[in-house]
Structure 1
């Protein structure tokens, strides 16, 4: 092989490499996670996933639902209650708005879940009536207070149980959502209040990054 042939061969190989890298980048657009962009959207990803206790609660249809049954989809766990005067209706409205901005394939893989921190009043019937108002395909879960508190503590979204002996009591809780992966493990958090525009951009990136 002459020097000219070697030079041409090397140039062709470099061009092929550049084209290959460009095609790879194009094909994977939207698949590469950028921590800064995720954080800007309010998404905090843990370095390692954490196990979630496999408790069984009751959904808004009166059916038993274990945490294991939530596997296979991404789940956004919001710990709130139907008699909440502020954070809860605002967050659920934001979640409804977010679902309206997400592509259908992402909505199929992402399940918002309201876990009641007020099981004293949040019966399945009450949860169903409340969630139907938002009409966004949410799941509601209620059950024994101890189980709910165990779950909330395990996923890093604790709350302070209310004194239910008081009339019109409220429950102290936060606005962050626990992000549970399709493997059933805690993968991170979404900070409240929700930044729906940026979440609509970054959640598909996160979800599609895992195939």
Structure 2
């Protein structure tokens, strides 16, 4: 009888523990809360606190990115579209451009509109972008311009997730199974607030 009681208690404790962890990388204890000063798609200055109240996914990239950005944002859009209406209303994606010279507010708006209404483009002065990328330990680097003035930007493909209070929760990478990323996004978006 004690073995059965212990087994039941152990599975309850383990189930409780699994409820507190994410399938992707938990960053709750190592990343700071959502905080920045940038410019939105309307050309207005915004701050991290302006985006509290919804689960927030943050991705750093640029609109001229030929592959990683559109693939990542498309996957996020697909996952968000699979949510029920109420849960979908509680999530937003901040696409922070690391290429402010080309990614004007108008360019960002056209780009993010292609992925869904939950996507918001942000950029800013170089110092503002450096402040937020340094805060979240994101490295990026500009490539050499070609004869047309075009260039690539090397950048992280990680997606940061914050809860409704702006607290860091988890980090998704390309190496995570899509099913794990989707499960964590759904769980984050459905959490009460």
Same fold per superposition (TM over 0.5): yes
Cα deviation digits, residues 66-122 of structure 1 (max 9, x gap) = 111111222111000000111011111111111122222222222111000100100
Instruction: Verify the 8 A CA contact 2:143 2:154 in the aligned structure 1.
Output: no
Specify the SS of the correspondent of 1:178. Answer: strand
Q: Does 1:186 align with 2:172?
A: no
Q: Does 1:122 align with 2:103?
A: yes
Instruction: Verify the 8 A CA contact 1:180 1:188 in the aligned structure 2.
Output: yes
The number of aligned residues is: 180
Structure 1 residue ranges (4+ consecutive) displaced by more than 6 angstroms after TM superposition? none
Aligned residue number for residue 115 of structure 2:
134
Gaps of 5+ in 2: 1-7
Aligned residue number for residue 147 of structure 1:
128
Cα deviation digits, residues 38-82 of structure 1 (max 9, x gap) = 33xxx2112526434743211112222111111122211100000
Matches of 2:26 and 2:117 in 1, distance apart? 25
Q: Does 1:64 align with 2:45?
A: yes
Counterpart of 1:94 (choices 75, 78, 103) is: 75
Specify the SS of the correspondent of 2:29. Answer: strand
Q: CA deviation at 1:192?
A: 2.4
State TM-score, norm by structure 1.
0.72
Pair member with larger Rg: 1
Gaps of 5+ in 1: 1-17
* 1:111–1:148 Cα change, 3 Å: same
CA-based RMSD: 3.0
Q: CA deviation at 1:186?
A: 2.5
Specify the SS of the correspondent of 2:152. Answer: coil
Matches of 2:84 and 2:30 in 1, distance apart? 26
Aligned residue number for residue 171 of structure 1:
153
My pick for the range that moved more, 46-55 or 106-115, is 46-55
* 1:53–1:137 Cα change, 3 Å: closer
Aligned residue number for residue 103 of structure 1:
84
Matches of 1:49 and 1:184 in 2, distance apart? 14
Matches of 1:125 and 1:182 in 2, distance apart? 27
State TM-score, norm by structure 2.
0.78
